[in-house]
Amino acid sequence: MDDRVALVTGAFRGIGRAISLRLAASGMRIAVNYLNADFEAEARGVLGEIEAAGSGGFIVEGDVSISEHANRLVAETVAKYGHLDVLVNNAGIARDTLAMRMSDDDWDVVLRIDLTGAFYCTRAALRPMVKQRYGRIVNISSIAGVGGNVGQANYSAAKAGLIGLTKSVAREVASRGITVNAVAPGLIETSMAAALSDEARTRILEQIPAGRLGLPEEVAHAVNFLASGEAGYITGQVLGINGGMLMA
């Protein structure tokens, strides 16, 4: 994959960082997306790790929930490297509360970033991918999008919508050599998991047959496979990465 180029949204920390480093380890050059100046230092840190490992890339600022920004992320990547081979739609947020207490803004912002942002980036990336008749799109969904979760009506709806987006676009572009798949992680050791109370963490662990939370690197390995040439006959699929917490 030495000549491949990947754009990873929300790449400055957590799962996005792990995915960027894993794809870079496979030889890809990485466009490391971050939201705004508040996160630039973290994005530069990820780029530094990529370069220290012997690969290359650049950082690119942009809010995926704004169509013009999504278009620019893709355009800048293609302008720098001449092509875009892999898109990982990872950017996302959560604003958890029970549905009866959820504000309009809590609903709107999560759907706009987690689902609409992925659509904007996908639409922009498909243009160069269709032209070159090759592409890999991997969407980061969630176990919440498959089975739902209390207090996450907005997040679950967005992640379920992402699965529908995955399957629909996969059907549209398979004949052009482009695959579109999703991964659906369970609870992963990120800053979000670190915020859990000991009681909540224990309750969740009791539901996981593997007896532990997942690691960002374990999600990244799955994404790396789906982004590779070896996964060319896999499309429209959702890969659960949850330690057995949900078995479809």
Residue 215 makes CB contacts below 8 A (sequence gap 6+) with 18, 188, 189
Q: Return the ∠ at Cα 6 (arms to 5 and 7), rounded to 5°.
A: 130
Amino acid at 24: A
Tokens of 41: 């230092």
DSSP secondary structure code for residue 152 in this structure:
B
The distance from CA 237 to its chain's CA centroid, rounded to whole angstroms, is 15
β-pairing verdict for 29-34 and 238-241: unpaired
Spatial distance between the Cα atoms of 212 and 224, rounded to a whole number of angstroms = 22
DSSP 184-236: EE-SBSSHHHHTS-HHHHHHHHTT-TTSS-B-HHHHHHHHHHHTSGGGTT--S
Spatial distance between the Cα atoms of 187 and 143, rounded to a whole number of angstroms = 8
Residue environment code for 92-126, b if the CB has 16+ CB neighbours within 10 A, otherwise e: bbbbbeeeeebeeebbeebbbbbbbbbbbbbebbb
- Specify whether 233 is catalytic: no
Tokens of 149: 């979760």
Catalytic residues: 155
